[in-house]
Amino acid sequence: MAGPLEQFEIKPIVPLRIGELDLSFTNSSLFMLIAALGATVFLVASMSGRALVPTRWQSLAEIFYEVIANMIRDNVGSSGRPYFPFIFTLFIFVLFSNVIGMVPGGFTVTSHIIVTFGLAGLIFLGVTVIGIWRHGFKFLSLFFPHGAPWWTAFILIPVEVVSYLSRPVSLSVRLFANMTVGHVLLKVIAGFIALMGIFGVVPFIFLIPLTALEIGIAVLQAYIFTILSCVYLHDALHLH
Amino acid sequence: MEAEAAKFIGAGLAAIGMIGAGIGVGNVWASYITALARNPASKDEIGANIWIGFAVTEAIALFALIIGLISLFG
């Protein structure tokens, strides 16, 4: 009988070693591929009709577009339009990865800190580079809020720098922790069903709304990841 | 003290950190209900933002949980 942590194991499907590097095609890579291909097929196929009055599938794709376009307009402003493809791709990838992990037998790609930290680290580096490119040395005024008394600078600037550097950590750990804890909880409750004999009906009934909650959290966490990336982009573009 | 016992005690201590997150999450909806009572017309506008507040506050609880899990299984 497997423990609750065995579902997160990475198993190589096509082993491939180049010198010291292990570049195998693993189950994690497979599900990233499934998420990317699934999203591509869904978006391309549903929009291929190009009806002016959308069909149901086309409505769904248009809803995704509108949610992200509104998010960028509200959180980044009009200067955020060039970043729309990236934010859209980010949202779709995290959303599809999270939801595919909820399918029975699916592997949750985002339940590994290396995956979420790769995404969050990339966003943090990109946003910082965008800020420095656009504002030069004035980018450092991000750490000293305008209008604060000069003598508070000694306390305020280190606090602001630490808070800025903690952004990729909090962004990645939030997604990783939500996904991991959700799946561990599902497995632990499911484990009680076999353990409790006839009273196993109680955990079984409890598991149904818990699974619904987990699907809700999967969608919500993808939305939160994206909207926080938009907020960080706004900070870099507009320096406050 | 053996390492095994220390692991369990550490996990228990880490879970105490969730008190703050519990208060915070309750705060989100408490202020939503108060704002809704003062101005029922703003329901949709504020309603979109409570989920962001919830997720960001819940993350703190999960940071505490991760420390507990690391001390138990790491």
Count how many pairs of residues, chain A against chain B, have C-beta atoms within 8 Å. 32
- pLDDT tens digits, one per residue of A162-181: 989 999 999 999 999 999 98
Contact B59/A181, CB-based, under 8 Å?
no
| Model pTM score | 0.89
Please provide the average confidence, as pLDDT, over all residues in chain B. 90
Mean per-residue pLDDT for A117-143? 92
- The ipTM, to two decimals, is 0.78
Chain B residues near residue A170 by CB distance under 8 angstroms: 59, 63
- Domain extent at residue B17: 3-73
**CA–CA dist A62, A58 (Å, integer):** 6
Chain B residues near residue A221 by CB distance under 8 angstroms: 55
Chain A residues near residue B65 by CB distance under 8 angstroms: 177, 181
Nearest to A177 among B56, B62, B73 (CB): B62
Mean per-residue pLDDT for B2-31? 93
Sequence-distant (≥ 6) Cβ neighbours of residue A152 within 8 angstroms: none
Encoding tokens for residue A169? Answer: 């950590």
Contact A194, A169 (CB under 8 A): no
Nearest to A174 among B62, B69, B73 (CB): B62
Q: Above 60 in pLDDT, residue A1?
A: no
Nearest-neighbour CA in chain A from B19: distance (Å)? 18
Mean per-residue pLDDT for B61-69? 87
Chain A residues near residue B51 by CB distance under 8 angstroms: 220, 223-224
Q: Look at chain B and report how many structural domains it folds into.
A: 1
CATH of the domain at B46: 1.20.20.10
- Phi, psi of A40, deg, nearest 5: -60, -50
Nearest-neighbour CA in chain B from A80: distance (Å)? 20
**CA–CA dist A49, A59 (Å, integer):** 11
**CA–CA dist A226, A67 (Å, integer):** 11
Query: DSSP of chain A, one letter per residue?
Result: ---TTGGG---EEE--EETTEE--EEHHHHHHHHHHHHHHHHHHHHHTT--SS--HHHHHHHHHHHHHHHHHHHHT-GGGGGGHHHHHHHHHHHHHHHHHHHSTT---GGGSHHHHHHHHHHHHHHHHHHHHHHHGGGGGGGGS-TT--GGGHHHHHHHHHHHHHTHHHHHHHHHHHHHHHHHHHHHHHHHHHHHTGGGGHHHHHHHHHHHHHHHHHHHHHHHHHHHHHHHHHHHHHH--
Three-class SS state of B44: helix
Nearest-neighbour CA in chain B from A174: distance (Å)? 5
Which class for A27: exposed (0-12), middle (13-18), buried (19 or more C-beta within 10 A)? middle
Contact A68, A226 (CB under 8 A): yes
- pLDDT tens digits, one per residue of A46-56: 988 888 888 88
Q: Above 70 in pLDDT, residue A140?
A: yes
Nearest-neighbour CA in chain B from A137: distance (Å)? 31
**CA–CA dist A210, A206 (Å, integer):** 6
**Is the pLDDT higher at A240 or at B62?**
B62
Chain A residues near residue B52 by CB distance under 8 angstroms: 224, 227
- pLDDT tens digits, one per residue of A87-119: 999 999 999 999 999 999 899 999 999 999 999
